[in-house]
Structure 1
Amino acid sequence: MESLNLLDAFIRSAQLGSFSAAARSLGLTPAAVSKNVARLEEDLGLRLFHRSTRKLALTGEGEQFLENAAGPYASLQDAFAHAAQREGKPSGVLRLSVGLGFGNEYIVPLLGDFLARYPGIVPDWHFENRAVDLVGEGYDAAIAGGIELTEGVIARKLAPIYAIVVASPAYMAGRPVPRHPADLANLEGIVRRSGPTGRLRARTLRNAAGQEAPAEAGIRMIFDDPEAMAHAAMLGYGVAILPTPHAARWIASGALVRLLPEWYADLGQLSIYYPNKRLVPLKTRAFIDFAVEAFRRKRLAALFDPR
């Protein structure tokens, strides 16, 4: 088993390009990953990486060893998963990536029922507003919206998501209510910046009649997190265009009101993503089925649909 740990450290480091990234995916420290790789090099009598302060690159011997080892190692992982599933009881650490605000609001509350049903599973959940590399970073699953499927990853749909225009009652007091997306130009906007690209996100709204119009409020502030935008809107700083999962509870509480109720932007599907293995571990399958059923039972698809 120790040799497998050393091999795991090497393969993750090679795939992700750094000891730090490999450490995050393995739940170890970078020093521990570096030490494991060094021990593997010593056992093999080969230098597998060129190391520098800026870059980690495979040597020729390292490239050859990775080519020879990666396939058999993946087969070994499947064999271990298969052996564990023969007991028929889902167990083990479940590594999940989910957005911070969405995870706190909708996924963490599912834990009680999930753990009561599957006490052998230990959630190891990462709350991050980014698209993760499921295979390369070693996640069992991720919940996100609008992710482009890559090779080796499949998805099950949970709910459609949309973007709507909101503001606080206090902000709108004494201001004319917009009747068309063009009217947003007269209001102060809480605008979202895309984390991956750094660009401001432009939204085009549409209505049931099929009409489309750009939504361009005056830029008052720029955030990269929808939860922060929601709180800024509730504090009366301006109008925000929020994904429905981040707006629904605040509209229900009265802290936010929806503007332009006939207009929305389609953001695609919220899905649960997982690696496409020949044998999906029972712990992963159990969580996927549980999440799909929980979304159906709580009618979250209807909650997130503003039409």
Structure 2
Amino acid sequence: MDTLNCIECFVRSAEAGSFAAAARRLGLTPAAVGKNVARLEAGLQVRLFQRSTRSLSLTEAGEHFLREAGGGLDILQVAMANLASRQGQPAGVLKVSMGVAFGRLYILPLLKEFLARYPDVQPDWRFDNRPVDLIAEGYDAAIGGGFELPPGVVARALAPAHRVLLASPNYLAARGVPQKPEDLSGHDGILIRSPQTGRIRSAMLRSGDGRETPLDLRARILLDDPEAACDVALMDFGIILVAMPHALPYLADGRLIRVLPDWYVDTGVISIHFAAQKQLPQKTRLFIDFVVEQFRLQGLDRRFSAR
């Protein structure tokens, strides 16, 4: 097992680009990761990394060994994890990333049923409004939408990723209800910055009959969190553009009203993402199947559609 641990430290360091990043993923100290890599190099009698105070890069031998060993390590770890499962049941830590409000509203309610089926799985769920590096950060799965898949990651679709315009009844009573997209330019907008770039993303409104037009709202307040934007909209400050999962609770009780209900922004699909490998750990495969099943049974794919 010592050799396997050393190989894992090497592979994760190569993937992450540093001993420190690999250590965070493996739950070790950077010094321990560095020592394990040094032990592997000593055993193989070859240098795998070029080290400096600022960078860590693979040697030619290191690149060759990574190609040969990386995929085999993943397969071996899956086989060991599945063998360790008690009586054929999945077991082990299940590390999943999801958005804060989305996770609390739609994934946490599934926890009781999931653990009733698979009691030996230990959920380690992280709530973060950003796309994570699933492979480098060691996640089993991530749930989100509206961004491109990085290399080595695949996805199963859960629901459409649609965004809609909302405002409070008081705001619309005072400022008037927009009747067409061109009317939006005269209204105050509560705009949400991208958590990745800090910029206000441009958006194209789409109608049910296929027409498109740019969204044009006058910036009144800038925020970087959709739940905060909903709270500000409740204060009657303007119109917001938020994803349907955020909008549904406010629409259900009438605290916010959909503006231009025939129009929406299409940003793709909400999906569950996971590593593109032939043999997924049993815990990961069953979790993915479970979430897809629950979204279908609860009709969330239809509820998240703005059409």
Question: Contact 1:163 / 1:264 at 8 angstroms: preserved in 2?
Answer: yes
- The answer as to 2:12 corresponding to 1:16 is no
Paired position in structure 2 for 1:243: 243
Q: Given that residues 85 and 281 in structure 1 are in contact (C-alpha distance below 8 angstroms), is that contact kept between their aligned partners in structure 2? A: no
CA distance in 2, matches of 1:51, 1:199: 36
8 Å Cα contact 2:141-2:284 kept in structure 1:
yes
The one-letter code sitting in structure 2 at the alignment partner of 1:100 is V
1:22–1:233 CA distance, 2 compared to 1 (3 A): farther
Q: Is residue 82–residue 279 contact of structure 1 (8 Å, CA) maintained in 2?
A: no
Segment of structure 1 superposing worse, 114-123 or 289-298: 289-298
Native 8 Å contact 2:156 2:273 kept in 1? yes
TM-score for the superposition, normalised by structure 1: 0.89
SS at match of 2:263: coil
Letter in 2 for 1:237: F
Equivalence for 1:76 = 76
In structure 2, what is the equivalent of residue 98 of structure 1?
A: 98
Amino acid across the alignment from 1:188 = D
Task: Tell me what 2:261 maps to.
Answer: 261
Query: Are residues 89 and 64 of structure 1, via their aligned partners in 2, closer, same or farther at CA, if it must alter by over 3 Å?
Result: same
1:247 Cα deviation from its structure 2 partner? 0.9
In structure 2, the CA distance between the partners of 1:169 and 1:12, relative to structure 1 (3 Å rule), is same
Partner of 2:157: 157
1:123 aligned residue: 123
Residues 265 and 71 of structure 1, relative CA distance in 2, 3 Å threshold: closer
* Deviation at residue 241 of structure 1 after TM alignment: 0.5
| SS of equivalent residue, structure 1 residue 109 | helix
Larger displacement relative to structure 2 (26-35 or 182-191): 26-35
Whichever residue aligns with residue 258 of structure 2, its letter is: R
Q: Which runs of 5+ in 1 are unaligned?
A: none
Count of residues in correspondence between the two structures: 307
**Structure 1 residue 82 displacement after superposition:** 4.6
Q: Are 2:179 and 1:179 aligned?
A: yes
Cα distance in 2 between the residues matched to 1:176 and 1:243: 23
More divergent stretch after superposition (25-34 vs 128-137): 25-34
Give 1:299 shift: 1.6
Which residue identity lines up with residue 129 of structure 1 in the other structure? N
Name the CA distance, whole Å, in 1 between partners of 2:19 and 2:254.
48
What is the alpha-carbon root mean square deviation over aligned residues? 2.4
SS where residue 287 of structure 2 aligns? helix
SS in 1 for 2:195: coil
Matches within 5 A, 1:130-141: 130-141=130-141
Residue 190 (str. 1) matches residue 190 (str. 2): yes
Task: Tell me how far apart the structure 2 counterparts of residues 88 and 75 of structure 1 sit (CA, whole Å).
Answer: 18
Paired with 1:211 and 1:176, the residues of 2 have a C-alpha distance of 24
Q: State the 1:108 CA deviation.
A: 1.4
Please tell me the residue identity of whatever aligns with 1:93: V
Q: Note the residue ranges of structure 2 that are not aligned, 5 or more in a row.
A: none
Moved more, 283-292 or 136-145: 136-145
SS of 2:156's partner is strand
Distance 1:267 1:14, change over 3 A: same
Match of 1:271 in 2: 271
- The 8 Å contact of residues 82 and 90 in structure 2, kept in 1 or not, is answered as no
1:86 CA drift (Å): 8.6
1:6 aligned residue: 6
- Most deviating of 45-54 and 201-210: 45-54
Aligned counterparts of 1:31 and 1:172: Cα–Cα separation in 2: 60
d(CA) in 2 for partners of 1:125, 1:61: 37
Deviations 1:234-257 (A, max 9, x none): 233321110101111112122222
Q: Matched residues, percent identical? A: 52
Residues 197-225 of structure 1: CA deviation (Å, up to 9, x unaligned): 44321111122232222111111232333
TM-fit CA distance, 1:152:
3.5
Q: Which runs of 4+ in 1 moved over 6 A?
A: none
Q: Which region of structure 1 is more displaced relative to structure 2, 114-123 or 95-104?
A: 95-104
